[in-house]
């Protein structure tokens, strides 16, 4: 078992008149294997469980970090289109509830819920990335909730 310490700050000097925003939150999370430390993949890569599947369906809960690197998968250097080359995150079925959309440079961190442990009929959870336009590179990491 290991400890993961995430810290998020949200800052703005002009979001409210006369009221700057300076939120900081941190947590201490117990994590264990399986875990994947910060890694990189293309949205059309198969890293072991199917194209775009980062976490296979199952009954574990994970802490997830995803960042859209802002470059195309084709060569790793060409800038992705800000408007078109977004990515969607959803469960492994990728048929519903893809409520997270990352444009170039954006990132997310969230605790992924457990799945039902049974494939194919929904409720699967896991995590799949789907491209919006061109395939792009992402950075990712996930750690099992201990």
Partner 1 sequence: MATLTPTLTLASSDMNGDVLNLSVTDTLTVLGQVTTKQVVATSAGVVFATAANYSKSYVYLKNHSTVTAEIITIEAPSVISADLTNDATVTVASTRKLSRGMTVSSGSVTGVNDGQTIASITNATEFELSAVADGGTITTDLTYNTDEYMKLGPGEFAFFPWIATDATTTDQDVSLACITASGSPVLEVRIYQEAAA
As a whole number of angstroms, the distance between CA 23 and CA 33 comes to 31
To partner 1, the closest distance from the beta carbon of 1 in angstroms equals 9
Q: Are 46 and 15 in contact, with CB atoms under 8 Å apart? A: no
Query: Segment near partner 1 (CB under 8 A), from 11-19, 40-48, 51-59, 72-80?
Result: 11-19
Tokens of 85: 């080359």
From the list 144, 128, 138, the residue with the least C-alpha distance to 57 is 128
Task: Count the neighbouring beta carbons within 10 Å of the beta carbon of residue 51.
Answer: 14
Of 41, 47, 51, 114, the one binding partner 1 (CB under 8 A) is: 114
How far, in Å, CA of 28 to CA of 102, rounded? 26
Please name the residues in contact with 75: beta carbons below 8 A apart, sequence gap of 6 or more: none
Q: How far is the CB of 31 from partner 1 (least distance, A)?
A: 7
Smaller CB separation from partner 1, 36 or 42? 36
| Residues 12-51 close enough to bind partner 1 by CB under 8 A | 12-16, 21, 23, 25, 27, 29, 31, 35, 37-38
Q: Name the nearest CA neighbour of 107 among 68, 145, 76.
A: 68
- Interface positions, 85-104, toward partner 1 (CB under 8 A): 88, 91, 93, 95-103
Positions touching partner 1 (CB under 8 A) are 2-16, 21, 23, 25, 27, 29, 31, 35, 37-38, 61, 65, 67, 88, 91, 93, 95-103, 105-114, 116, 118, 121-125, 141, 143, 145
């Amino acid at each position: 078992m290991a400890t993961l310490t995430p810290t998020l700050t949200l800052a703005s000097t002009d979001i409210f008149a006369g009221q700057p925003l300076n939120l900081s939150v941190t947590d201490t999370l117990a994590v264990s294997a399986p875990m994947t430390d910060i890694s990189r993949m293309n949205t059309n890569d198969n890293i072991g469980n199917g194209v775009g599947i980062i976490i296979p369906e199952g009954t574990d809960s994970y802490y997830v970090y995803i960042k859209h690197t802002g470059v195309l998968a084709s060569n790793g250097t060409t800038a992705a289109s800000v408007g078109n080359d977004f990515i969607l995150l959803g469960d492994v079925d990728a048929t519903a509830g893809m409520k997270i959309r990352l444009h170039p440079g954006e990132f997310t961190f969230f605790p992924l819920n457990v799945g039902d442990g049974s494939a194919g009929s929904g409720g699967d959870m896991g995590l799949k990335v789907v491209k919006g336009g061109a395939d792009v590179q992402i950075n990712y990491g996930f750690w099992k909730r201990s």
